[in-house]
Amino acid sequence: LLSLNLSKTEDLTIDLTYHNNSHTKFLGIILEANLKWKKHIDTVCNKIAKGMFLIRKLRYEVTLDVLKVIYFSYIYPHILYGILLWGNDPNIKGILILQKKAIKIMCNVNVRTHSKPLFKKLNILTVTSLYIIECLMCVKKNLDIFKTNSDSHSYSTRHRNNLKLNFCKNSTSKRSFHEQGIKLYNALPQYVKDYDVDTFKWTVKRLLCEHSLYEMDEYFCIFNCI
């Protein structure tokens, strides 16, 4: 018996094979009819650029600590918001490029300076690392809804306690945060999985800050689990 306000209602047909530009905004997230995220990521990039402009203007007037406050006030929230949905889209490379530029401006270094040590120095997570930690925390806080391999068979295999992956027919489902979260969680050492939620988050964040990941595959390389 829900009464809809037609002036505030949009009809969007979701179809993975859809190729037109149909999209709508829902709670600040731009949804495309084919469940791609380019339009939303482009919007995030525009917001990041505005924060970078402020940092560039103030870099000679304030300390590095103040520039970090500006980063976490005007750039970080736009990257973090809704990242579980769009953080595994190939277009996030555009956000990573802007992140690299931002930290180089903050550190006042040459544009050709290697970025990974700067991310580590400033204790700033790359967009890839932010996506990873959000996926892992989503799984950690909801372990009771996930099945393990031992729920499907009684064999004493090495991976019997790993979370069970779902059978996905298309690449969009395979790239979802639900499936990626399972893969990321399974790759962790058991002692990390056994931590309470707060210690788990602190440990994962420290690991990601140490390595400053640009690609998802780098995470699995850390544990030799590709």
pLDDT the model gives residue 148: 80
pLDDT at 49: 96
Quote the pLDDT of residue 224: 64
Tell me the pTM: 0.88
Spatial neighbors of 111 by CB under 8 A, at least 6 apart, are: 101, 104
pLDDT in the model for residue 3? 87
pLDDT of residue 154: 59
Ranges under pLDDT 70 in the chain: 18, 20, 150-160, 168, 224-226
Rounded Cα–Cα distance for residues 216 and 54 (Å): 30
Give buried/exposed letters for 41-66 (b at 16+ CB in 10 A, else e). beebbebbeebbeebeeebeeeeeee
φ, ψ of residue 169 to 5 degrees: the values are: -85, -25
Q: How much is the pLDDT for 2?
A: 83
| 223/200 Cα distance (integer angstroms) | 16
